[in-house]
Amino acid sequence: MELSETKLKEKVLAMLKKEFPDAWVYKTADRWKAGIPDVLVCRKGRFYATELKVGKNKATRLQLYVLRQIKRAGGRVAVCRSVDQVRNLLNNEGGDLND
């Protein structure tokens, strides 16, 4: 059975709480603003934004636009499909918009 985006977000948030206790983490809610990445993190003076996707789901044009704007402003961004990809982004080992 495939993991849902909601379950992936829960796993990512649990990992962030456990492995990055020094990070400020904000999980967005779709009802507030279209295009805002699923998880926003500020840690050690760096800003990270990740859009979570599972299966064949792809980031929308708007989601990619917002991620590019964050990257342009100096943030690190990625479309992530696993907890490991989010971990790698925060460890400065990964991050891209290839979806």
Report pLDDT digits (tens) over 46-56.
Answer: 999 999 999 99
Mean pLDDT, rounded, of the chain: 89
* Residues present in the chain in total: 99
Q: Taking the domains of the chain in order of start, what are their residue ranges?
A: 5-90
Whole-structure pTM over 0.75, yes or no? yes
Q: 5-90, what's its fold?
A: Trna Endonuclease; Chain: A, domain 1 (3.40.1350)
pLDDT over 90 at 92, yes or no:
no
